Structure formats: structure tokens, C-alpha cells
Structure 1
Amino acid sequence: MSDNYRSREERKQAEKAKQEQKKQKSEKPRKKGSFFKKFLITCLLLGIIVLGAGVSTFYAMIKDAPKIDEAKLADPVSTKFYDKDGGFIHEYGVERRTPITYDQIPKVLEDAFLSTEDARFYEHHGIDIKRTAKAIFENLTNGFGSQGGSTITQQVIKNSFLSRDKNLKRKVQEWYLAYKLEQKYSKHEILEMYLNKINLGNYSWGIAAAAKNYYGIEVKDLKNLTLPQAAMLAGLPQLPNAYNPSKPENEKEATKRRNLVLTLMHRQGAITEKEMKEAMQVPVREGVREPAQNPMPYQAFLDAVAKEVEGQLKDVNIGTDGLKIYTTLDPKAQAYAEQLAESGDGFRYPNDQFQTAFVFQDTKTGEVRAIASGRKENKGSFRGNNYAIDLDRQPGSTFKPILAYGPAIEHLKWATSHTVEDKETKYDTGAEISNWDNKYHGIITIRKALEQSYNIPALLTMREVGKPKAKVFAENLGITFANNTVFESYVIGANQVSPIEMSGAYSAFGNNGVYIKPHFVTKVVFPDGKEVNFKPKEKRAMADYTAYIITDMLRSVVKTGTGTNANVSRLDVAGKTGTTNFDKDTIRKYGYPADATNDSWFVGYTPQYTMSVWTGYAKNGQGMYLNKETSRIAQYIFKNMMSKFGTDTSPFEQPSTVYRFGNELGVTGGEKVVLPKEKPDTPTGVNAQYDTASNTISLKWSYTASEEMKDVSFDVAYSLDGGSKTTLTNTKSTSITLGNVKAGGRYTFFITATANGKVSDEAKITVTVTTGSKPEEKPSPPDNGDGTNQSTPPNTGTPPSTGTETGTPPGSSNPGEAKPPAQSPLGIP
């Protein structure tokens, strides 16, 4: 052994040290930068993965992109509208379109459009990378759709092939097709397509039509367009209607837009600063003709048609795709509706600012026959405002059948005789709720509560059935709620709805509980013969018993309630009024009277037609409010339309699930009908006693109040010796005392009960004093039993010293029968 160790332990330590040295020698030093190499490799792999995913996503998005169809790039084909019977109404899309070639486009007009819409048009290949990157940044920071960044090539693609939806897939398809279009057509051809297709307002499609309609310039004279005119035309595509210089009210906005175009032209070097400033000094309406007259009839109705078609068929353009659109329009009803809205019929509108919008539809099919959308300056137009379908206003009490009584009958099977107590109540928020008359009406049936449109019973009814069930019931009728939330105040119409929503909801009550969404189109036929059916699916929204019982309650509204001005005697009409009030701040700001009304509605139906009418003002202002009389105009409009076009005089058919008892209805197997008391019960147990010592007659009776007749008072009168009646008192007590009675006098007392404004039958008793004599005295006023006197009867003679005689209660066979003297009780059945 070459090594000497003192112990076995030293040997082990030495061997361990040698192994450590060997291990260190075998390890190679790490190369500098190996971490960064791995990091870069990882990033490269991630990049490849992301790129692969991006490419896959890109191809997934463009795989179903439409093909570039030359027919759609060429001059567009007009769309034809037809009425409910297939009669031709109107041809839309080509009546004011004049195609031109690139050679006919003046340089000043080309510069104006390129400076405004696509400054690098001749440099890119369909997509402006710089502009697109900026648009992407704007979309990431402000939400997708906030910035478009579309080139002219992209706009040609969008107008020819794609929908108007703002989503990533459509944008990717737009980029892809724009690139493909640039590969197939020259820049001049693409610019020509754009300027021939673009909508420039004033019923003008394409630049040639716009030059003629705005400035009277024919195609052959396009070279005569001035710089201010070209700049104005180039500014129109963004908002054609708002910037239309032929409308005086647009002058300010049109000027700003034209001057922006001039600024952009100068920035791009197309014009000098001097030319820019001189053009800006020209009045924007200089040389502009009067607005072109659109021959399109029934504009508001066809606007609703266009919106319905474009809402369901995302890839069509009704101005260019050569469609045949078959509508639900009744031309006679629509013509009368427009006349009625504009000038009235048998009534007058208070002023030109007063507005109305209504929907007139078939109850059984949901097909809309006619609409009105505003009056005078707010009159609905094609591609303009449309109050009938776009208005959002509070519906007032027309919402009570939807959120209160309908759900209660549906889920709790209440009868129309079901009662609630109209008493002081607050919303669950602690806010006050009151009735329109600022009174409480005690125990009241739901029929009467709806008939008289009391608010508190409606709220209490919704609480009974619960907000969740009430919300679902309303949603089944096509009603939507902001933030998907229902508040208690909605039961009296504090939410927002449109006339068409209310018409659709009420038509389900008239259609046996089946909801069919109101619609304006029956079918669309494409140029290749393909048809798309637009008839909505039917949906059972409620039981037939609910629909009929609500209908019967709403009959009461138009016969004896708040809607009598809407009744048409020959038709079976059901309907509901609704009004909304201003808040205190608005009343104070504009000086409105305290009872001023903001909105007034009437929604009603017959077995044939349903109609929803709104009236009010578009905005607040001096004198712009409804009063008691003008609030009725909604009912007059309804009555006129129904009277003129309602031909079905048959009544609503009562289903087997409903039974009638008297004037009330109940659900078979549900709550039993209890006929409400027509008047309070007659007082019973009438008792008269004469007291010799005090010379008084004490009168007492019994009474047990019913639940619905709780707040009872009693009227007491008497006649002396068969003379006329003299009122003694009105009291809540069941006894009175008459003093200083006349000796030998024959007193007949009459007692009636009064509750809820109704009076019972009379209870009657007669007392005759036949003995004793005393000088005639004036009797003292009767005592109510609580130490107070009520009235003073006529003078009486000497009171008797003893004995009484009574008459006979109703039904007695012996009216002259004598009774025991003094204290005998005398009853009335």
C-alpha cells in the first residue's frame, strides 16, 4: 500500500475527497449565453405556434367568404315591393341612378373623394396597412367597430358582398376580398364602381345622380363642378341625410363637413391654401336645388320592411340586389293611417308639434297592415325616423295586464271577482305610490281596479304572483327589459317600450293566448327564384283562460271605465288606457300644470285587428304637454281606425276552461267566483224604546260589515205623523236618542248603511205615543250615543207619559197589530 492511514475513518474520508476531485474534473464549464439561446428558441416556437394558429383562424374566417360576383359589381338591380295581395307598390334602387365611366369623372371630384376616403388609394393593394394599424389600435382602446379604416376598395366589397355587421370575421373577409378585387380590376375600374354605387342622400345613388339632384348638373357637364361643390359631394357618404345641403336645417353641419374635406384636400396637396380658403367662403347652399321629391309611397311602412329584411338576411342590399319583397301592407289602411296622423278625422290636434305613432295589425296572424310614424316635421320617412318601431316611451297603465293581472290569472287562477285592498302602500324601495285620483278605495275587485286604472291594486297583484313569474309572462309577449331587470314601478309602466311591442303583446290576449311577433314581410324572392319565408313561429304565451279573462276585463275598460272614448258599439272591443306624468323638476322648469301628462296610450283589439297608439311630444318645451282633453286623442285615433276597417263583428269566443257567474268570470278548477255586493247589507235588529221619565225615544240596530264594505256609516231620518222625511244624522254609531217627542205623535224611523259610495236598502220602524199629555215642546236634537247632538227635528207636542206602538217591519201580514207597551223590542228582518 502506498498510502498509510491512521484509521479506517481516515481512509474513507480520503477516498471521498478523490471522488469529489474526479467529479469536478469530469464536469464541463457552462457556455456563456445558453439561457438566452433557450429563450430565443422558446419564443421562436411560440411564434410559430401563434402564427400557425393565426393562419388557421384566418382561413377559417375566409372559407365561407362570398365569391366576387361580377353581376353584383356591375350596375345594381332594383328591388320591388308588393302589398298583402301581391299588388305592386314601388320599385326601389335605380330610379335616380346614372352610371358613368372613369373618363367622365372630373379631376377635382376624384381628388375630393380620395383625399377624404382613401388618400393612398393608388399606392396600396386593397388594404392600407398604415391606416388599418391605426384603426386596430383605436378598436383595441375604444372597442371593436369604433374605427373602420376602410379603403375605397374595401368599401366596394362591403357595399357589394358583405353585411353591415361590425365584427372581426366580416372585417377579415373584407380585407381578403379587397385584395382579390385589386388583383382582378384596375384602380380606375374600382373607383368607377365606388362612385357609381355610393349613397349620397337626397335619393341619389352614384355621383352622377347626386350632381344632378343637388346642383342640376347633367353627366355631360360634370366637368363644370366647382371645388366647393365637389368637396360637398365628397363629404356626404359618411352621413348622407345629416349633411344633405338641400335641407336648410343641415346648413351648419354641412358647412363643417365640406370645410373638413377642403382641409384634407389641401393637406394632401390637391389644392392650394388660397383655393381652400376661397372655397370655404362660398355658402354651402349656394347653387343647391330644392330637395328631390321621392315618389316612394308609404315611406314609414317600407322603412320598417327594409329594416326587417336586412335584419334577417344579413348579406343583402335591398337597393341593389333585385329582390321581390312581399309585404303585409293594406294600402287603403296605410293611406288612411297617414291622413289620420297628419290632420285627424273628427278631432283636431292641438298644434304641429303634437306627435303620434301607431301600429295596426291583424290579431290572428301578426301581420302589420298599417303604421303611422310621427307628424309634420317628425313624419316618418324611408331610412329616417320611425316612431312606430323605434320609439322608446313609458307605456303607463297599459302595462298592468302584462305585469300584474295576466300573470295572476295565469299562475294563481284568480277570478275577476278576486279582491285586493286598495290602501296606503309603498314600493319596495320606500318610494310612494298613489292612485290617479289620490284616493284609496278599500276592498276592490281586480275587474274594477283595472277598469278604473288604479295603481295600488296592480302593484299588490304583482307582489302576489311575484316579479320572476311576472317578468317571464311579459317576455313571452315579446317585451324586453333593460339590464334584464324588472322593478316594481314597471307594473304601472315605468319602463320603455315601442308601439309595435305593445301591439304584439296585446294581440296575444286577442289570439287565445298565442303570441305571433308583429311583422311587415311575408316572403322575399331572389332573382334566381329562391324564396325566404318570413312568417314568424307561433308561441303559446299563456293559457286560453288567461287570454279570455283579461279580454273580458278589458271590455269593461272601454264600456264603463277609462277607455269609453275608444269603444265601437258594433265591435267586440277590449283595450286599456295609459298615461305618464312629468317629474317635479320638469314641471317646474317648463311651467307645466301639476296634472300635465307626458305620454298617452291606448292599446286595444278586436277578434280581427289589434292597435297600439302613442301620443305625446318628441321633446319637452313650452306648452308641450298633454291635458285631460288631448290625452283622449289616442282613443279617438283607435276608434277611427277600428270603425273604418273593422268588419268582423263576431265576439271573442269563451273557452271551456272559463265559466261565467253573473258578470264575473272564473277559471275551471281555480278560484271560485264570488259575486261582489252591489250595495251594503241592510241594518238589522232595529229596536225602539220610549222612556217616560226623559220623554225620549232610543233607537238601536245591529250591523256586521263585510270584507268589501268595511268603512260603513249610517244615515238616520224620521217622519212625524206620515209627513215628509227629516234627516236626523249621519253616524258610525249603531244607536241614537231623540228627545222631547210629541205626545200622541207617530214616529217612523228610516236607517240606511253607506259604504264605498253605495247605499243599502232602508230599515224602518214606527213608534206611536198614545197616552199622556203635556204642553207642546220643541224636541231636543238626537243624541248619537256618544254625548253629541246631530240635528234638530221639527216642534213636537206634549210627550206621552206611558205606552208605545210600533209599525210592522217589511213582510208583516198584520200592519196594524198592537204591541206590548213600554220596553218591547221591535225587529226588522
Structure 2
Amino acid sequence: MAKEYRSREERKRMEKPTKGTTKKREGLWKKITLSILTVAVICILAGVGGFYYLVSGAPDLDESKLKDPLSSTVLDKDGNVFAELGTEQRTKISYNEIPTVVQDAFIATEDVRFFKHKGVDIRRVFGAVLANITGGFGSQGGSTITQQVVKNSFLSPEKTIKRKVQEWYLAFQLEQKYSKQQILEMYLNKVYFSNGLNGRGVYGIAKASETYFSKDLSKITLPEAAILAGMVQSPNNFNPAKHPAASENRRNIVLSQMKKYKYISEEEYTKAKAVSMKSIVKVSQPERTKYQAFLDVVIDEVEKNGDANVYTDGLTIETTIDPKAQQKADEIINRGKEFYPSDEFQTGFVLTDTKTGEIRAVGAGRNTTTGGINFAKDIKRQPGSSIKPILDYGPAIQYLKWSTFHQIVDEPYQYSEGVPISNWDKRYKGKISIRYALADSRNIPALKTMQEVGLDRSREFGVGLGLDLPKDIYESYSIGGFTGVSPMEMAGAYAAFGNGGVYIKPHAVTKIIYQDKTEKVLTPEPKQAMSDYTAYMITDMLRDVVKSPLGTGGRANVPGLDMAGKTGTTNYPTEVKQKYGFPDNATRDSWFVGFSPDVTVSVWTGYEKNKKDHYLGKSSTNIAKYIARDMLAATGDMNSKFEKPSSVVENRDELYIKGEKMDDIPQDIKLDPVKNVAANYDPVTSNISLNWQYAPELLPSTSFEVSYDVNGKKAQTQKIQGTATSINGIVPGDIVKISIVATSDVGKSNPVTVTVDLSTTEEPVTPPDEGNNGNGNGNDNGNGNGNGNGNGNGNDNGNGNGNGDGGDGETDEDGNPVIPDPTKPTDNNGIITNPTSYNTSNYRYNKITA
């Protein structure tokens, strides 16, 4: 119903707005418009201001930096320059010398709209963002070729908004100043192509063609161009010489991109994809530079952790190398046939600082022409018994609070699934301590220990020491039956034992300083991987491996150096031995990992590939120990000693955790003293020759402490394995008092003393002989006959006394003579013949310290 008005004036008044209302509405719209304009102006000003702030400090476009890669300076541990990277492997070319197939491959892969954008491809930026969200965008990144030139020439690699805006800004500038052809020439002359085979950076497309295909760039083919274009995304991972399978997969992605964007036909794509990597990758072998083994590690660390290119970014790299130690490592690597059994025999080793994890020297391998493999860090091989402190006895002390004298039974045994396990000598020692078990490298006690600890806790302990172990481990891991570990990993793990339980990942780079003076510290953070008592007790047990006559690592011992370590050997599967004709006792890998309070060395030896005659024999298994010995002798501090923490208590040379129950305490047994001591002075040589006799069946497992004083002043104590020694520097007028004590794993004897009195002109008096002394030489089985009470010596395999038997001539897992357990008489098959004669639970394994 229409509204009725009382008059025409009322109707006009109601239908026509008042003047005041109109003014109010106009004022409101003006305020809204003004506010919008104000906000817009503020945003524009803020954007402009923000842009200028972000681009402030951006470097100028320096043409020399655009065209020439910048060398990086490498410093040793004392800050001295020892290398420059990036100045040697470069071959410059002009745009006209770049084959079309190379341009097509790189543009299709790196920047398909290169000739259309103005430096920054906005469409590509959004595409890269979307790819990061959805995944699967592997063929292209967010940066154009122009941006990559700018980034590599002027900017640090830090990933910040400011750096990215500066990159865009400089890319626009670069496009204004240079043609597309010039920019592409710059890019292809400076792009990085990994470090070849000699560790020097390969950069520039021409040098890459020479390095990986041994041909001039003008002769490059489609599949070769695709390989090089594919390397840019990750040069080291797609290096065709080191990683041919990964390189081939990446090459095929590049070919698919070229087909997608119509650079090649379907037929060309199929034909190029079918070409084998082996047929086209022919790597040239430039001469390696000084300290190249160490530089290999430096390059990897910078690229993985520093997000920079050592060959093009003009870095200053602070490293941990000790030039003298590296020189020793290089000398060992370059030894010839007088040391190594063949040219194909390989080794990889690393020397680190025990307390800091800093790498002092690297032995990367011998005659390394097989694709640039660094045998100190790249290989993964079975560790054998060298894993036992890490996965067995370390966890047992840490989690179960075992003492070093904790008793465990060495007996016929099997894995949980029923598969038998044996010791290296096919014998059993009965109830023994874990100290004895580790020193003699017994397998059955190691497995039993892991079973008591539990697989999960063993793995946890190993991972805490830097080992890359799978989620599930098996009982075979207890004796190193898995693949595998690298010398670098083992160095880091063992160093933690010598460093109070603190693990620091081995590292060669401490700091990177970029061109714009920003810095990045790469030193890893230390972490407490185990208790200090675990670290010290394992260390003390590992001392016996190298210092005790029963230890398997005696050939690595450096006299006077407080050191510890462990051997490890692995065997070939039966089918491999049959295929290549290897003998039954052929060894595949031989390890020695040793450490002192200041340095740690980890050594692997073996052959890279299975071939005829490529196995370790009895003598070559010792080379790992000799390498470790020579490195430690050259770098170890003779005055440095392992310090026992307050959390460890000692009882009869065995170690216990303070506050834990000492339920295993060794009991000493008195050994028989030596007999028929003869001491004769020779005034010509100023020496006293000393010899004595001892029960022949006990000689292999008995050592002798010979101490003496001259004129009442104590001189020193000798530790002798045998029945003769000499005392030097004695002159007429001296009075020399000599004491001889027999020692073994079950105790010590009372001392036998003799005095050589040279204070008068009379002949020195010696105890009367009980028979004529005679000498006899034993054969290879250690049997020898001497006249009367003389000594008979067997070759390396044992000693006989008089008419005694010098032993059975067997050797342990590392080629050392077998030393029978004197407490358990055995027949020729290792079966205990009189097991009730001895209470083995009271025996003490007598450690001999440095």
C-alpha cells in the first residue's frame, strides 16, 4: 500500500534528502578514499624503502669477477696457507665455441626461458615454490642462469631474503649491461663440475669435457652434453667417474627435458638414453696436488656443510691439517714393494686429535686411479673384531656396570637362531675375564656380552659414537659381521674412549670466510657419549691388546707411548674363496684402530675388488698395524698419559666403577721362580749378559720383569719375552743388583736376585751352573732340542727350553704366535686334559701397562 502524505510539502520533505545528510555521506566517502590512498602510499614507501634496504650493500658488477672464477685459500691448523683451490683446472672458451647441443642441454635443464626473461623468471619462481610444496620438481630450480652467474660471482651462499633480493636486483642489472650470449658464456666458463679424480675443482664446460670424456668440447655428443648439464644440480653426487649409476639417471632426466621442450626428437632421445656410461666416460688423470688426500675431505665438508663452492667462491678456509703428520701419511702411502705386497693392495687411514676430533692427516689410498675413491672416508667394510669395544664391552660397562674382571665362560656356543659360532683358534678357554676376552679377541664372549646388553642398547651406544647403523642390528654385529664402517667413522668412535667419553665428529674444516667477510663455523659440537668410567676402563683393556704378550696388536706398539687399540680381521665367504681360488685362511679386511691421549689413528687395509690373488695372507694382515705404529710414533706425545677418573677404583690391576659392588676380585697365584741365572760382564762392550731358565711349557705365556740398580740407584725395569737380555753402560767399579720376576696371566713369582760386583779386580761371582749351557734351533713348528739345560728357539711360533717343545706353531687372527693358556693343559686338539686341576675363576689376567 502506497504511503499517504498529509500535504505536498511533507511529501517533498520526505522524498528529498536534506542538505546536511548529503554532506555527511560525501564526507564519509572522502575519508575512506583518503585512508585507502594513505595506506597505499605507505605500502609503496615501505616497499621502496624495504627494497632499498635489502639491496643496500649489494656489490658492484665487477667484470673480472664475472669472467674469472675466484680461488679459495686453504689454511693449516696454525693459520699458514698450504693450498689454493681453483687456479689450475680451467679452459676458457668463447660463445662461438660452445656447441649448440651443449647450449640446448643446459637451457632445457637450468633455464628454459633464458632468452625471454629479463634476469628473473617470475613464472619460474612461483613454479619452484609450488614444487617445494608438492614435491617432484627435480628438473629445474628457482634461479635462472643469470641469477646463478650473479650468485657465484658476488654473493655469499647464505639463504636469506636480503641475499635473494640482492640476487634479483643484480640479475636485472646484469641483463641490462650484457647480452644473453655473453651471460651464457660467463656461466658455462665458470660453472662447477665436481673435483675430478685428483681433487682439484673442474670448472668450465671445456675443462669438464676434457676431464670426463678426454675430448675437446667441439666433439661432444648429445649424451655427453646431457651428463654435464645434469651435474650442475649436485656436482659431486652426479660425478660420472665416481657415481656412474646416479649420473646416468640424472642424464636421462636431462634428455627427457630436452625432448619435452623440442630440442631433440623422440628418436634422438631413445638413442642417447641407450648409450652406456662405460662407453663414454673416459677420465683423464691429471697429477695430484700436494696434500690432496686431505683436500678431498676439506672439499666435501665445505660443499656439504658450508653451502659454497671452493673453486669459484673465493673462500678462506681454516682447516685442521698438521703438515708434518700429512707428510708422514703421504710417505707411508707412497711406499713400494718393500712394504706392500702388490700395487693393487689398498689402505685408507686417518689421524685425528683425540681431544678435539680435528683431522690431522689422511691416507686416501694407493695409486688412486679408480674413480677418485678416498679409502679413508668413502669405503664401508666389515670391521671384524675392532667393533667389539663399541658394540659389546663398552655397552656392558656403561649399562650393566661390569668390571674389567667380569667373568664370562668361553665355551661351545651358538647364535640365538641356532647357528654355531667359533673362536679364531677353534678353542675354548673356559671362565675368563672380559679383559682377557678382548685382548685375545675371543668371539664367543663377545656374542654373549652383546646378548646380555641387548641389541637395542648396543645399537644406541654405537650410534652415539657416530656409526651409521641400521634401525635393526643382529647378533653377528657383535664380531663385526656387517658392512660396514669407514676408517673415518672408527677414528671418531675410538677417540671418544681416549677423551673421557666425549664424542666429536672427525672434521677437517673449522671455519669458512666468504668474499663478503661473513663467516660460518663448521666445528661440530661435542657430546658426552658415555660415562668417563666406561671410556677409561675400555681404554685400559685396550692397552693390553698392544702392551700384553697375549694381545693381538703387539706389532702396533710404540715403546714408551701410552697407547691403546684393537685389531680386526674378516674372512671371505666360502663361495667367494671357491670362485677366485683363495686359500681357506685368506683374509679380506685387516684393521687396526689405536689411540693415545693426544692422537687417534684408524687404518683399514685390503683390496678394493675381488680378483684372483686379491686377498691378504698371513704377513700382509700385519700391515695395518705397521701403518698405525709408524703414524703414532711420528705424532704421539711420549709424555702424555691417560688419566684415571675418580669414578674408577682399582683392585689388583683390575678396574671397577666406584660405588658398584666388586663381586669379581682376582686372586694371585705364585709362579715358580726362574732358575740357573747367569750374569757375565764384558769389559769391552760394557755390557752384562744375563740369561736364565724356566719351565718350557710355560715360556710362551710367561714374561719376565728384569729390574736392576747400579750403586744403589735404581735404573730401570725391562719387560722380557724370553730368557735372556743385557744391561748396558756398566763400567768397572760398579755394583749391579739384578732382580728377575716371572709374570703371566695368573700372577707373579718371587724375585730371584743376583749381584755383579765390579768394585774389586776379582772376577764377578755368578751362581754355579746346574749343567752345560747349549743352544738349539727349532723348526717351523716350534720344536727344538738343546744340550743339557740349554735353550731351544722355534721360529716366530714358540720357544722350547732344553729338550722342551716350543709350541704347536699356530697363529692368532692377526698372524701372531698362539700362546697357550698355561692354566689349562690341552692336547693337540685344544681339548682340556686336566680341567679339575685349576680353579680358573681365581685367575687374573695380568695387564702390562706402558
**TM-score w.r.t. structure 2 length?**
0.60
Structure 1 counterpart of 2:476: 489
Alpha-carbon separation, structure 2, partners of 1:528 and 1:124: 28
Alpha-carbon separation, structure 1, partners of 2:545 and 2:362: 24
2:467 to 468, 471, 479: 479
Structure 2 counterpart of 1:611: 601
2:592 to 602, 619, 631: 602
Alpha-carbon separation, structure 2, partners of 1:424 and 1:198: 62
Structure 2 counterpart of 1:3: none
Structure 1 counterpart of 2:345: 354
The within-5 A match list for 1:582-731 is 582-672=572-662, 673-676=664-667, 678=669
Structure 1 counterpart of 2:422: 434
Q: Secondary structure at the match of 2:349?
A: strand
Quick one: structure 1 residues 188 and 361, their matched pair in 2 at CA, closer, same or farther if it must change by over 3 Å? Answer: same
Structure 2 counterpart of 1:206: 204
Quick one: structure 1 residues 233 and 653, their matched pair in 2 at CA, closer, same or farther if it must change by over 3 Å? Answer: same
Q: Secondary structure at the match of 1:437?
A: coil
> Cα deviations across residues 565-591 of structure 1 (Å, max 9, x unaligned)?
111111112110111122222222222
1:377 to 328, 349, 368: 368
> Cα deviations across residues 142-186 of structure 1 (Å, max 9, x unaligned)?
956478799745764775699999xxx999x99997899468514
Do 2:560 and 2:638's aligned partners in 1 also have CA atoms closer than 8 Å?
A: no
Alpha-carbon separation, structure 2, partners of 1:354 and 1:487: 31
- Counterpart amino acid of 2:553? G
- Counterpart amino acid of 1:558? V
Q: Secondary structure at the match of 1:416?
A: coil
Q: Secondary structure at the match of 2:545?
A: helix
Do 2:589 and 2:604's aligned partners in 1 also have CA atoms closer than 8 Å?
A: yes
Structure 2 counterpart of 1:577: 567
Do 1:514 and 1:541's aligned partners in 2 also have CA atoms closer than 8 Å?
A: yes
1:343 partnered with 2:330: no
1:526 partnered with 2:514: yes
Structure 2 counterpart of 1:298: 291
Alpha-carbon separation, structure 2, partners of 1:376 and 1:406: 37
1:562 partnered with 2:520: no
Q: Secondary structure at the match of 2:186?
A: helix
Do 1:504 and 1:518's aligned partners in 2 also have CA atoms closer than 8 Å?
A: yes
Paired-residue identity, % = 47
1:311 partnered with 2:304: yes
> Cα deviations across residues 519-549 of structure 1 (Å, max 9, x unaligned)?
1112222233333333322222222222221
1:655 CA drift (Å): 2.2
1:137 CA drift (Å): 13
Quick one: structure 1 residues 475 and 233, their matched pair in 2 at CA, closer, same or farther if it must change by over 3 Å? Answer: closer
> Cα deviations across residues 214-261 of structure 1 (Å, max 9, x unaligned)?
9999xxxx9xx755589967864445899999x9x99xx99x999x99
Quick one: structure 1 residues 158 and 390, their matched pair in 2 at CA, closer, same or farther if it must change by over 3 Å? Answer: farther
1:365 partnered with 2:356: yes
Structure 1 counterpart of 2:678: none
Structure 1 counterpart of 2:183: 190
Structure 1 counterpart of 2:99: 109
Larger deviation, residues 364-373 vs 336-345: 336-345
Alpha-carbon separation, structure 2, partners of 1:471 and 1:311: 26
Quick one: structure 1 residues 300 and 216, their matched pair in 2 at CA, closer, same or farther if it must change by over 3 Å? Answer: closer
1:538 partnered with 2:526: yes
Aligned length: 596
Quick one: structure 1 residues 159 and 393, their matched pair in 2 at CA, closer, same or farther if it must change by over 3 Å? Answer: farther
1:79 partnered with 2:143: no
The within-5 A match list for 1:119-518 is 121-123=114-116, 145=138, 152-153=145-146, 156=149, 181=171, 185=175, 186-199=179-192, 204-207=202-205, 226=218, 236-238=228-230, 291=284, 293=286, 296-314=289-307, 316-343=308-335, 348-378=339-369, 384-483=372-471, 485-495=472-482, 496-518=484-506
Do 1:359 and 1:388's aligned partners in 2 also have CA atoms closer than 8 Å?
A: yes
Alpha-carbon separation, structure 2, partners of 1:344 and 1:449: 36
Do 2:209 and 2:220's aligned partners in 1 also have CA atoms closer than 8 Å?
A: no
Larger deviation, residues 556-565 vs 486-495: 486-495
Alpha-carbon separation, structure 1, partners of 2:285 and 2:823: 69
Q: Secondary structure at the match of 2:523?
A: coil
Alpha-carbon separation, structure 2, partners of 1:344 and 1:649: 33
Quick one: structure 1 residues 422 and 163, their matched pair in 2 at CA, closer, same or farther if it must change by over 3 Å? Answer: farther
Q: Secondary structure at the match of 1:647?
A: coil
- Counterpart amino acid of 1:629? S
Q: Secondary structure at the match of 2:601?
A: strand
Structure 1 counterpart of 2:708: none
1:758 partnered with 2:822: yes
Larger deviation, residues 69-78 vs 656-665: 69-78
Quick one: structure 1 residues 110 and 127, their matched pair in 2 at CA, closer, same or farther if it must change by over 3 Å? Answer: farther
- Counterpart amino acid of 1:565? R
- Counterpart amino acid of 1:633? I
Alpha-carbon separation, structure 2, partners of 1:436 and 1:64: 68
Q: Secondary structure at the match of 1:578?
A: strand
Quick one: structure 1 residues 535 and 210, their matched pair in 2 at CA, closer, same or farther if it must change by over 3 Å? Answer: closer
1:113 CA drift (Å): 2.2
> Cα deviations across residues 775-829 of structure 1 (Å, max 9, x unaligned)?
xxxxxxxxxxxxxxxxxxxxxxxxxxxxxxxxxxxxxxxxxxxxxxxxxxxxxxx
Unaligned stretches of 5+ residues in structure 1: 1-62, 278-283, 682-707, 710-755, 762-829
RMSD: 5.0
Quick one: structure 1 residues 136 and 352, their matched pair in 2 at CA, closer, same or farther if it must change by over 3 Å? Answer: farther
> Cα deviations across residues 660-693 of structure 1 (Å, max 9, x unaligned)?
2223222222242411565999xxxxxxxxxxxx
Do 1:111 and 1:270's aligned partners in 2 also have CA atoms closer than 8 Å?
A: no
Quick one: structure 1 residues 154 and 666, their matched pair in 2 at CA, closer, same or farther if it must change by over 3 Å? Answer: same
Alpha-carbon separation, structure 1, partners of 2:213 and 2:571: 48
Alpha-carbon separation, structure 1, partners of 2:414 and 2:395: 21
Quick one: structure 1 residues 399 and 108, their matched pair in 2 at CA, closer, same or farther if it must change by over 3 Å? Answer: closer
Q: Secondary structure at the match of 2:665?
A: coil
> Cα deviations across residues 40-95 of structure 1 (Å, max 9, x unaligned)?
xxxxxxxxxxxxxxxxxxxxxxx999998646756442210011111111111244
1:411 CA drift (Å): 2.5
Do 1:154 and 1:175's aligned partners in 2 also have CA atoms closer than 8 Å?
A: no
Alpha-carbon separation, structure 1, partners of 2:615 and 2:573: 12
Quick one: structure 1 residues 298 and 411, their matched pair in 2 at CA, closer, same or farther if it must change by over 3 Å? Answer: same
Do 1:328 and 1:520's aligned partners in 2 also have CA atoms closer than 8 Å?
A: yes
- Counterpart amino acid of 2:624? A
Alpha-carbon separation, structure 2, partners of 1:466 and 1:67: 59
Do 1:66 and 1:161's aligned partners in 2 also have CA atoms closer than 8 Å?
A: no
Unaligned stretches of 5+ residues in structure 2: 1-52, 272-277, 673-744, 747-819, 826-850
1:92 to 81, 85, 88: 85
Structure number with bigger Rg: 1
Quick one: structure 1 residues 207 and 586, their matched pair in 2 at CA, closer, same or farther if it must change by over 3 Å? Answer: closer
1:398 CA drift (Å): 0.9
Quick one: structure 1 residues 620 and 154, their matched pair in 2 at CA, closer, same or farther if it must change by over 3 Å? Answer: farther
